[in-house]
Amino acid sequence: MRRRVWNWGLLGIVGALAAGGTAWVWLRYDFEKVNWAWGVVAGFIAVYVFLGQVFTERSTVSTAMVTDRRAAADQLADLIRRDRTDETLLRAVDEPYPLPVRWANGPDRLLPSWRSIGRSSDATPLDLSGRDGTLWSRYRSVPSGRLLLLGSAGSGKSITTLRMARELPAHREPDAPVPVPLPVATWDPDRESFPDWLVNRIARRFPQLAADHPRREAVLRNLVEADLVVPVLDGLDEMPEQRLVACLEQLNELATQRFVLTCRTSVYERYLVKGERLRGTAVVVLEPLRPAEVADYLVDAAPFHQSETGRPSPPRSVTVRS
């Protein structure tokens, strides 16, 4: 509305100046000069109208892109919350309650400088330690948006990242990023760039996402390029060693790419011997469970694994990746 008023006002001013200029030229010179002056004015008006049309179309396209990607981000967050596979897995491992999971800052030998993590020469170390459902909030405090979650085999890395995706509030801010759990072992850096793999993987895992949009791939790519997706990459240690090194090298080249990445501590330490640390990446390490907590959990969980005859039922087959 304001733009339309501005356009008409400007045209009015141009018209008034043109009329005044015509009268002045007519009185001072002759009619031929008036024709020449109006030719110049008409040229300026044509250029103005053309540029106005171009910028209006660009503004309309830009607004539509923002609207489409925000709608896609909202839909993606809802699809992740309602993912039945992840929900079933979490329920299976959370009976009768989730085991307490804690993490602490990684040792200095695994970290780049806090200046590179903080994206500032004045950056100081952050305390990223926490437990249970707080990993997403800890991650959001990392200025670089890059976090590596380490732990031993079976320490709960995969479950922790699944819970992380569920921490997203139901009513998120329009431009708040969405954590998307993905198995990083499906990425082959020699065949596909990370952004291309990310767009394709999201498209395959969530076929409902922007399914009715005529330019679906463009919407998903815009979603990724606008940093509305935080890939939560689980299982780096499941890659062959050569591919693992290529993966980390490409992530180092993408200095502004945000992510959460999980890996066994021993595997990442082997990589450090051969290569450099992940640039700008904060590191947290899962702590082992306390014996008393494990003992209490086994006692409390026993009633959930009793058959109708009162005898212990065979343990259910639940495969949980570390």
CATH number assigned to the domain comprising residue 112: 3.40.50
Does one domain contain both 111 and 243? yes
Alpha helices in the chain (DSSP H): 2-28, 31-81, 84-93, 114-118, 135-140, 157-166, 194-205, 216-225, 241-253, 265-274, 291-301
- Say what the pTM is: 0.75
pLDDT single digits (tens) 132-148: 889 999 999 999 999 99
Same domain? For 254 and 207 the reply is yes
Contact 321, 158 (CB under 8 A): yes
Bond before 231 cis per omega within 30 degrees: no
Residues 132 and 35 in one domain: no
The reply to whether 113 and 249 lie within a common domain is: yes
Q: Which amino acid is at 24?
A: W
Query: Which of 67, 93, 123 marks a domain boundary?
Result: 67
Q: What is the rounded CA–CA span in Å between residue 320 and residue 240?
A: 20
On whether the CB atoms of residues 303 and 147 are closer than 8 A, the answer is no
Output phi, psi for 182, to 5 deg: -145, 145
Q: Does 236 lie in the same domain as 144?
A: yes
Domain boundary among 41, 67, 93: 67
pLDDT at 230 over 60: yes
Burial class (CB in 10 A: 0-12, 13-18, 19+), 222: middle
pLDDT in tens, 34-91: 565 556 666 566 655 555 554 444 444 478 888 999 999 999 999 988 887 777 777 7
Dihedral pair phi/psi, residue 87, rounded to 5°: -65, -40
Could you count the other beta carbons within 10 Å of the beta carbon of residue 287?
A: 15
* Among candidate residues 39, 67, 95, the one where a domain is terminated: 67
Counting the structural domains of the chain, the total is: 2
Are residues 251 and 199 located together in one domain of the fold? yes
Token pair in block for residue 42 = 């008409």
* In a domain? residue 212: yes
If asked whether residues 102 and 24 sit together in one domain, one would say no
Residue 76, in any domain of the structure = no
Confidence band, pLDDT 50/70/90 cuts, at residue 98: confident
Domain span at residue 49 reads 2-67
